[in-house]
Structure formats: C-alpha cells, structure tokens
Structure 1
Amino acid sequence: MATARRAVAVLAAVLVAAFTPTAAQAGTDDASTTGDIGIMAAHKSPFGCGKTFYANNWSPGHNPSGAIDWQSYGDDAVGGETVRATASGTATFSTTLSADVGILAYGNYVTITHGDGTKTRYAHLATMVRGAGQSMTVAQGTAIGTVGGTGGDYAPHLHYEQITAGGALDTSPTVEGVTVSLGQKKAVTSTNNCGGNPYSPAEVCGGGFSVIDQKGLTGGTVYLLYNSGNSDNCVVTLKSTNLGAATAVSAFLEPQGGTRTTDSGSYTYYAGPVKRSAPGVCVKWGGSVGSSTYTSPFEHCD
C-alpha cells in the first residue's frame, strides 16, 4: 500500500499545480484549520456559462497597456451583462468617477486579491453587488456587478486587468486557457459558473498533494490526500449541494496513537484542509455534510 500510495502521489505532484489557502471564512473551526477561503485557480471568463464575448488587448493606445476590453460579440451585447469573479479571492469595491487612480477613471470597479497575491480588476461597472469601500470573499463565478460605462463617456464594455503579485500588469493575460497578447482580439466562450463546486481537493490542500481515497456523502464527498514529499496527509470535504450557502460541513484527520484534528462549521463550499504528518503510522479520516457522515478505519499506513 505504501509503495502504491507514494507512486500515485509522486505522479500527481508533477501534474498538479495548486496554491495553499490563506484566510478562513466565517465558521466554527479548530485553531489549526481554515475552512472555506480564497485560493487561486486558473482564470475563467468574467461572464456566465456559455457566454461568448471579444477579449480585445488594444495596442497601441490602450491605458494601461495590456488590459483587456471585453466587448460585444455577434448579436450578444455585453452591456448590462453580469460580471463574475474569474478566480476566487477577496473582492474590494471602489468608485472613482474622475481620473484619480493614476491617470485612469475606472468608474465603479472591483479589485480581487487572489490566494497567491495576484489581483484582477474589473472596471466601468454599471452596478456593483457591494457599496464602495466594502469587501467580500468570492469564489470563482461569484457575481460582483454588471457591465457599464462609468468613469467617462464610454460605450458599455468591461475593462479587465490581471496584475502580478509584484504589482505589474500582465500584458498577455490568460482566461479559459486562451492567452490574449498585446494587439490581439479573440472571441472567448465562458465555462465560468457552469455548476458544480468550483474547488478541487488538490487546490484546497495545496501543491504536492494528490487524492488517495474518497467517500461519497449525501451532498458532497470527503477526500484523503497525501504528499509524498513530506509524508503529510490532508482531508477536505467538498459540498455538491447548497453551494454558495453556509451549511454544516466538517473534515477530520487522526494519526493512529495521536489526537484528532477537526474542522467543522457553516461553510459555503468545503471544510478543511486538515493536515497532519503521520510517518510510519495509519490514519483515520472522514467528514460530514449535514447529517451524512463518514469515518474510516485506521488505514493507509505509511
């Protein structure tokens, strides 16, 4: 079992790139756990499932250079379209109706800080779901506003930026796996908000972890993951129902001969990650969604 376990984990470590969560969502947790939080994911389109719009990286003449203007495509008008987070994080809502952000007039705009310190910005919004100066935790696909032309005499469009952790603008941003470099204009179809939990167990646990076991629950699935690099185990319970609503969910992990660590609370998407090192011993793991629970025997002995 140990050999097979390590082989699976090593292969997944090569294939999976993920970021470790950094901030807990409201809930009742152990101090050692985190619950639902903003973590980085590959960027999707800022629009709803199946929507197709032009991503236009104007060059020259766009300010700042490298930002994308999302514009109407065919008979699909972008004006008034719901704008959604392209990746999870913490959204901050702002209004600048004059050119007081550098030399830019963003109008109503939202800045989302992602789990790895990168940011995205969504500007010229007609409406926002929160008032200026407020913030909220968002998942990939969360609605943050609607497309407009605020901040100047603009035709309705969405001004969109991807910003590195160092503060530089990415001049060749990628959404839906499509890179739009300077001077390019591409039609991009959204897979954002197409249903299902926007998180994966590997994203929640972080880089180097791979799924080695799982158990279906009514309303979700509890996963056991393993990191061959440091012999750490990780448990996360992902919801499949009541997504986006805070409901009871939990995850736990117990090395044989040691204490149990549990994360439980009212979460919108998942409980965990619960991480424990257990070199040379078996682990008991499990979790719950509502009244549906699972507890394993001691198994997966390293």
Structure 2
Amino acid sequence: MPAPSRPTVRSAITALAVTFAVALIPQAASAQAAGALAVSHKSPFNCGKTFYANNWTPTHNPSGSIDWQNYGSDAINGETVRATAAGTATFYNAGSTSYGRWVEIRHSDGTRTRYAHLATQVKSPGSSMTVSQGAVIGTVGSTGGSNAPHLHYEQRTSSGGMDTSPTVEGTTVSLGTKKALKSTNGCGGGGSPTNPNTPESVCGSGFTVIDSAALTGGRTYLLYNSGNKNNCVVTLKTTSLGTATSVSAFLQPKGESKATDSGKFEYYAGPVKRDAAGQCVVWGGSVGSSTYTSPSEHCG
C-alpha cells in the first residue's frame, strides 16, 4: 500500500490534537468549578447568634440578595458585622440613598460579598484592609435606602453578577426562601468565640512581635518595626469578645511621657505606637483588673 501523502498525515495529526483538546475540556471545567467552591461563607455575625436570612422574591433589589433580620430574642440593630470569608475589604458611604454605609470584600477566588446599611464601619470610606474570616467590619444599622435596621448582604461572582442562591453556613438560601441560620463565625473548636484580630493586624504592616505577657482574659504584646524604628503595643482580649469591657495598652520610651489607649472595647486596646530608636521602653496593658507592667527593657 502506498505511503500516505503529507496532507493526509497533517490531517491525522490535527484530528488527534482536536480529540485530545476536547478530552481535556471536562477536566478543565471541573477544576474551574472546584476553584469556585474554594471559598465558603459563614454568617456575618458573632458566634452563636441566630438571625433570619431572607432571600425575597425577585422584586428585591438586586434579586438574590439577603436581608438579615431579627430572630427570637436576638435583635439585629447594632449587632457586630463580620467578614463571611477572608479577602480585601473596601469601605464606602453612599449617603442617604441605596446602600448607605457599606463594605465590599473581594475574596481569593475573585468572588465578592457586600454588606450594606451599616451604622458604623471600622475604616473610613475609601479605605481598604486585608481581613480574615470573622474580622469585624462594622455594625448593623439602617443607613441609605432602608426603612428598618437590617443587614443587606450579597454574594457576587468574579464578574460582578449576583449569586441568586447564596450559601451561608453550609445552607443554600434559594430565591424566595427564608431560613434561620446560627452563626459559627469566630467560634473556636469548642464552639466559643475567638478573637479575629492579631497583634500584627492591629499594629499594621512591618511590625513583628518581640515580647508578650499573659493577662487574665487576654494578652498584651510588644511589637517592633525595623523599617521605621517604632514600637507598638496592643492588648487582645480572649474573653467577653464582642462585648465592650475595660482594656488598656501603654508604651513609654525612657525619659518620655507614657502613651496610653484605655477604654471599654470589644476586642482589643491599641495600637499605641512610639518612636523608640536606641531607647529602652516600659510597656504593658490590662484586661479588667488584670494588669502587666514591664521593666525598662528592649533597649536599642
């Protein structure tokens, strides 16, 4: 039999390549779908709190968004709002219309969540910050186009489109349904709340913990930034999280006045920052009646 001509060989190779590429499409699609499921969302509230998640009929604007509202004895007005998943949070204020005070968080897979009608925000409008799942971003209110306190919540795709059947706490809230969901956001392994903040997240980029001291109900930390020679002190609570109780943090470079942050806070006191290049420092803090004051140390 004569050898095949060059066009015939080329056609065979092309057909084989097409077959191979088609065979790969389902695998690529599966990998993409797996990536879309990588981010799971918890309730945007404190550990143990239960609220209704209302995914109203298509007349809700935008369709598929959730209105979180009162459930039983849990009243939502003024409630702490937490990130449902980790990402980069940007803070906005639309004024008296639309969302009012609101936050958008962009997650690692490109998807987004939005939290609207907030009474307060932890950052000023236009600011951005990296947040972990459970990080506090504001409190529930009724700003913007709202006629009663509630949290307007959206899950959006990476292109900005609405997910009309969002999943929270492993439960899908389909369009037109209403479900009572109990939050596990910020809960530790034993089901109790954990502090979503870290010393580094409070003090900011460039700071590293160089010392710490235990307190009853918390811990106080001393951090140092080798770039700008600043020290930073923060006291993190481990009890009564989400409830404002007495906490303090202070820092005093040798020969200078003491700088203190003291008051009733939900999660931490600080950051207290001072330039202490070449100086010894006295530092410490308190949670309730438990206090720590260091000797003059960490000189240089």
> Shorter-chain-normalised TM-score: which range?
0.5 to 0.7
Find the structure with the greater CA-based Rg.
Answer: 2
Question: Partner letter of residue 61 of structure 1?
Answer: T
Q: Is the 8 A contact 1:97 1:152 kept in 2?
A: no
CA spacing shift, 1:170–1:130, aligned 2, 3 Å: same
How big is each residue's C-alpha offset from its partner over 1:244-270, in whole Å with a ceiling of 9 and x where there is no partner? 222559xxxxxxxxxxxxxxx9xxxxx
Q: Is the 8 A contact 2:117 2:146 kept in 1?
A: no
**1:245 has 2:199 as partner:** yes
How big is each residue's C-alpha offset from its partner over 1:60-115, in whole Å with a ceiling of 9 and x where there is no partner? 3210000000000012111100000000000000000144xxxxx00000000001
* Counterparts of 2:71 and 2:195, CA distance in 1: 33
Q: Is the 8 A contact 2:186 2:195 kept in 1?
A: no
Q: Is the 8 A contact 2:157 2:163 kept in 1?
A: yes
CA spacing shift, 1:141–1:71, aligned 2, 3 Å: same
Q: TM-score, normalised by structure 2?
A: 0.52
* Counterparts of 1:89 and 1:170, CA distance in 2: 18
Question: Partner letter of residue 172 of structure 1?
Answer: S
* Counterparts of 2:75 and 2:49, CA distance in 1: 10
Percent identity at matched positions? Answer: 66
Question: Partner letter of residue 160 of structure 2?
Answer: G
SS at match of 1:187: strand
Q: Quote the residue 1:68 is aligned against.
A: 66
CA spacing shift, 1:144–1:241, aligned 2, 3 Å: closer
Q: Quote the residue 2:290 is aligned against.
A: none
**1:157 has 2:150 as partner:** yes
* Counterparts of 2:101 and 2:127, CA distance in 1: 13
Q: Quote the residue 2:94 is aligned against.
A: 96
1:242 deviates by 9.6
* Counterparts of 2:196 and 2:126, CA distance in 1: 29
1:243 deviates by 5.7
The match for 2:133 among 128, 140, 143 is 140
SS at match of 1:154: coil
CA spacing shift, 1:130–1:18, aligned 2, 3 Å: farther
Stretches of structure 1 lacking an aligned partner (at least 5 in a row): 1-13, 20-39, 100-104, 197-239, 250-264, 266-302
1:190 deviates by 0.5
Using CA pairs under 8 Å that are at least 6 residues apart, name the structure with larger relative contact order, 1 or 2: 1
SS at match of 2:78: coil
* Counterparts of 1:129 and 1:95, CA distance in 2: 12
Q: Is the 8 A contact 1:125 1:147 kept in 2?
A: yes
* Counterparts of 1:47 and 1:248, CA distance in 2: 29
The match for 2:109 among 116, 120, 126 is 116
Q: Is the 8 A contact 1:141 1:192 kept in 2?
A: yes
CA spacing shift, 1:242–1:55, aligned 2, 3 Å: closer
Question: Partner letter of residue 94 of structure 2?
Answer: T
Question: Partner letter of residue 161 of structure 1?
Answer: E
CA spacing shift, 1:50–1:241, aligned 2, 3 Å: closer
How big is each residue's C-alpha offset from its partner over 1:184-235, in whole Å with a ceiling of 9 and x where there is no partner? 0000000000136xxxxxxxxxxxxxxxxxxxxxxxxxxxxxxxxxxxxxxx
Cα RMSD of the aligned pairs, angstroms, is 2.8
CA spacing shift, 1:241–1:169, aligned 2, 3 Å: closer
**1:190 has 2:183 as partner:** yes
Aligned residues: 168
* Counterparts of 2:195 and 2:139, CA distance in 1: 26
* Counterparts of 2:146 and 2:102, CA distance in 1: 16
Q: Is the 8 A contact 1:48 1:84 kept in 2?
A: yes
CA spacing shift, 1:18–1:136, aligned 2, 3 Å: farther
* Counterparts of 1:242 and 1:122, CA distance in 2: 18
SS at match of 2:89: strand
Question: Partner letter of residue 112 of structure 2?
Answer: K
Q: TM-score, normalised by structure 1?
A: 0.52
